[in-house]
Structure 1
Amino acid sequence: MTDIPTLANFIDNAFVAADASAETLAVTTPHTGAVIAHVPLSPASAVDAAVASAKQAFDAWSQQTLKTRASTLLRLLVVLQAHASELAQLIVREHGKTLAEAHGDVAKGLETLEYAVGLPQLCSGHAQQVSGGVSCRDERVALGVVCGIVPFNFPLMVPFWTIPLALGMGNTYVLKPSEKCPLTMLRVAELAGQVLPPGVLNLVNGGQRVAEMLVDHADTRAVAFVGSSAVARMVHVRASVAGKRVVALGGAKNHLVALPDCDVEMAARDIVVSFTGCAGQRCMAASVLLVVGEQPELLRRVVERARQLMPGTTEPQAMGPVIDQAAFDRITSAIEHAETADHAEVLLDGRRTASFLEKRRDTGGFWLGPTVLLHRAAGDQAVRQEVFGPVLSVLQCRDLDHALAVENSSAYGNAACVYTRQGALAEYFERRVGAAMVGVNVGVPVPREPFSFGGTKDSRFGYGDITGDAALDFFSFRRKVTTKWGEPSEKSWMH
């Protein structure tokens, strides 16, 4: 029998074994439910050691030129690209994504690293003679030790929303990966240790208590969090009270509006990809379809396409399992509530799809098929609350204004999409929708660099967005330097 490893932390470019007395949690593979590792709930001493290492490394790292740091990040990019397949396989194993989705997770993370390599061209300061003999310039200055707290749903991409830009701007970093999916980033940290100086990137395993210790630590200057809205709000308050810069991204309830003139085949394809991709476990999934007018053919095609998906990892029509038993139970409970309490019509029932039932029975994994629900009211629980699984709620709307009213009534403000052939209707939608990321004939409207990622309302708390040009401001402050040289003058700086 193969021994199940207890994971180490990665501090000062070395693995540091967990204390023998430390409590651990099981890391399971969603395909079978088998335990593949134990993750330690690190004590305060481990958090202190990681932050101390990052603090020790900060002066030397931040004093390097931006060009030198960018060159180091380029070498890191080369190393990670060489191990992309290995990292994708780790994501498949610990998260349950299909192989194609796992490669996408890696590729999207490395895109942010590519963007960070270009920081010398993006971070020029300003200089101007502001009065007689007096000049002023500004420059970006690193904050110090940054901590990142991330969810399970994108084991590499979400940490890399912040790590490359934080490091590129001269900060050092302590990451707490998700206790459900720590293996990928632990391997990334090990690979990064081949390139980065000791202490620049550290990783501490744990759960809620480790996250709280990082937020509260006297030597962390900024907090980047991604998770549920309830926790994001608490992190924002806790970090703000401590005087720290914080961006905390929360949950989502994204709406996709299908107008009567939409391309039915394109819309149906994109809708299914959006709500079933990564088993619906992503904050940009379209979880509510607002159908304007009677469009029976669109609904028929959505159900037909979703029904074609099969449980698996590498097949062209594959969909992976959800992350764990708790997620499976929560999602199926939401479906049950929609059916029995809200009297939604179940157009496709992933709980009873034969192929997923068989896979779940044969493997013991957390396999749940796509589900499509036709609702009667916008107030139904599954229409309003985040399900975070392969579930699509459908609501019929009288017209575009009705659909916009439903979307704008949501507590969340991450993404909204419209499918139409008319530019005027698309512009009408863009101007009136409440979400911060908008798609036109795009089912997953994730902005690409240099544009920034972030929602509004209960989908984001704190300072700005988390990627792109907004991140350059988040991970630095502006130092303003005013100078006067030359002959003595009676003029003051005001002239």
Structure 2
Amino acid sequence: MSIEKAISSNDVPTLVNWVGCKATEAGNRLSTLEVSSPHTNEIIAYVPISGYEEVDSAVKSSEKAFLSWSGLTYKTRAQYLLKLYNALTEHMDELADLIVKEHGKNKTEAIGEVQKGLETLEYAISLPQLVQGKVEDVSRGVQCRDERVALGVVASIVPFNFPFMVPFWTLPIAIGCGNTMVLKPSEKVPITMTRVAEISQSILPEGVLNIVHGDKSTVESLISHKGISAVTFVGTSAVAELISHTCTRLNKRVLALGGAKNHLVALPDCDIEMTAQDIVNSFTGCAGERCMAASALLIVENAKKDGAEGSSEKFSDRLIKRVVDIASKINPGSDQSPRVMGPIIDKGSLIRIENCISQAESEGAKILLDGRLQSEFVSKRKDTNGNWLGPTVILHGSTSDSAMHTEIFGPVISVYICESAQEAIEIENANDYGNAACIYTGSGAAAEWFTKRFRAGMLGVNIGVPVPREPFSFGGIQRSKFGVTDITGDGGIEFFTYRRKITTKWSVPVERSWMD
């Protein structure tokens, strides 16, 4: 039974791997994991844990497909991608509903996720125009040219927080460049990409995309398999570093994206209303479960101009008050509205986030808005047994507080008031991660000063989630990324191909004049 039919009939399906465009039963000898709804913690599917034999079967299927697939022209492969784009666009609403069901995003966020993934697919359709190499006569009778060549079978290991978008950071460019792929979805959200496999089976040739489900052991089998030429990973920094070291030791190309602790800096000349709304959108969107979410807000107080005209209230007080007010109006839910926030992915994550809030409180920080106590979210949790937690705003008196350094990965923001721009930049620079940073200001000079000094790969000016769009690549620095190049955009093309240089020389013809 297809995922679409199983979900619509309220059955609890046991998912299958997709190998060679065919559903492959896991078999009784393999154990399964429960996939639960974040809204209710009810079991919605069982996902198999694939062993080495299942991984080997998927890799061999991709190896078999590679020769013919890589032999096609870029234009021909782009035509397959265009058909896939049209099919997925037709199923956008269905895919968004699956994301809501297994991840917990609200419907607006889920639709946005599918659209964002399709942007990379759109970009990959343009590969015939993007991969043209150089040709030059470097000497008399000697010509050099270069071309991009596919690597082989590549593995993509993706996280739970974006069931569709993150797989589509890698899939379109990888196969568009001539590679074949074995993809392992997160065991927490395996349904969406299983449905994508069903949709793609009549479009992509056999073996171009294979999907294996599983856990840590499946990942280990996949990255150590001799048939895998390159590995991409998105997840925590600790695991990203481990995968990077393993792949490097095995001489495999690797790009492993890790965690983040994104800092937003607000200056007194910013538009308070716009800034407050953007900050809330940044730290509560997708329940804060995204690597680009705001995590720390650094407010630079202006000691010479404490308040606005006709007011003695400080800038920091006005901004914090507005942030808390906007965040407090967010309600729990999953309908198609930007003013509702979905649940946390699972009980373990919910407990971990609540422990981070409790620890901040025990260290002396002030909880200005407590998501553990917000009545709407408390009621929702009692009524549904779901993993509901409201937006949380914490005011810190010390930069040494644990919440100022820990990647909480939830709808929680830490606020610290700085005495100067220099202090703010020093705090941001001291952070181990380097994914994103943002400055809120009305001054071009101030924006330039901060963007030249932030230590992060993706920067925003009055934009709290500075996600680049194609052709710009996605990627951080420091402990937010292990490996070379970025993902998506031209960085993705660079990662999934190598340059082959060809030098040709033919015998130089004897020169003749027109009289001859």
Q: TM-score range by the shorter chain?
A: over 0.9
Distance 2:198 2:403 in 1: 41
Pairwise CA distance, 1:486: 3.2
Determine the structure 2 residue equivalent to 1:480: 501
Pairwise CA distance, 1:355: 0.4
Distance 1:3 1:466 in 2: 37
Unaligned runs of 5+ in 2: 1-8, 302-313, 511-516
Q: Deviations over 1:126-150 (max 9, x none)?
A: 1111112111100000000000001
1:306-455, aligned counterparts within 5 Å? 306-314=327-335, 315-340=337-362, 342-455=363-476
Give the root-mean-square deviation of aligned CA atoms.
1.0
Pairwise CA distance, 1:317: 1.6
TM value normalised by structure 1: 0.97
**Amino acid paired to 2:360:** A
Is 1:221 the counterpart of 2:229? The answer is yes
**Amino acid paired to 2:323:** V
Distance 1:368 1:357 in 2: 8
Of 175, 178, 181, 2:183 maps to: 175
Determine the structure 2 residue equivalent to 1:99: 107
Distance 2:293 2:384 in 1: 27
Determine the structure 1 residue equivalent to 2:513: none
**Amino acid paired to 2:184:** K
SS in 1 for 2:58: helix
Of 36, 40, 43, 2:44 maps to: 36
Determine the structure 1 residue equivalent to 2:255: 247
Which has the larger displacement, 313-322 or 110-119? 313-322
Pairwise CA distance, 1:194: 1.6
Of 56, 59, 65, 1:57 maps to: 65
**Amino acid paired to 2:324:** V
Number of matched pairs: 488
Distance 1:25 1:288 in 2: 35
CA contact (8 A) 2:51 2:221 kept: no
Determine the structure 2 residue equivalent to 1:26: 34
Pairwise CA distance, 1:435: 0.8
SS in 2 for 1:432: coil
Of 187, 193, 196, 1:188 maps to: 196
SS in 2 for 1:412: coil
Q: Deviations over 1:108-161 (max 9, x none)?
A: 000000000001111101111111211110000000000000100000000000
SS in 2 for 1:413: coil
Of 285, 298, 301, 2:322 maps to: 301
Is 1:75 the counterpart of 2:83? The answer is yes
Distance 2:319 2:202 in 1: 52
**Amino acid paired to 2:342:** G
**Amino acid paired to 2:272:** V
Distance 1:51 1:173 in 2: 8
Is 1:269 the counterpart of 2:277? The answer is yes
Is 1:153 the counterpart of 2:175? The answer is no
Determine the structure 2 residue equivalent to 1:47: 55
Determine the structure 2 residue equivalent to 1:492: none
Unaligned runs of 5+ in 1: 490-495
SS in 2 for 1:351: coil
Distance 2:263 2:413 in 1: 10
- Identity, in percent, stands at 56
Which has the larger displacement, 377-386 or 408-417? 377-386
Pairwise CA distance, 1:487: 3.6
Determine the structure 1 residue equivalent to 2:126: 118
Q: Deviations over 1:201-236 (max 9, x none)?
A: 000000001111111000000000000000000000
Distance 1:3 1:412 in 2: 42
Is 1:289 the counterpart of 2:297? The answer is yes
1:455-494, aligned counterparts within 5 Å? 455-487=476-508
Distance 1:181 1:415 in 2: 25
Pairwise CA distance, 1:5: 1.6
**Amino acid paired to 2:426:** A
Q: Deviations over 1:87-119 (max 9, x none)?
A: 000000000000000001100000000000001
Pairwise CA distance, 1:63: 0.4
Pairwise CA distance, 1:257: 0.3
**Amino acid paired to 1:283:** C
Determine the structure 1 residue equivalent to 2:14: 6
Pairwise CA distance, 1:316: 4.5
Determine the structure 2 residue equivalent to 1:139: 147
SS in 2 for 1:91: helix
1:129–1:161 Cα change, 3 Å = same
SS in 2 for 1:111: helix
CA contact (8 A) 2:54 2:212 kept: yes
**Amino acid paired to 1:379:** S
SS in 1 for 2:268: coil
Distance 1:56 1:488 in 2: 44
SS in 2 for 1:458: helix
Q: Deviations over 1:39-75 (max 9, x none)?
A: 0111111100100000000010000000000111011
Distance 1:206 1:190 in 2: 18
SS in 2 for 1:392: strand
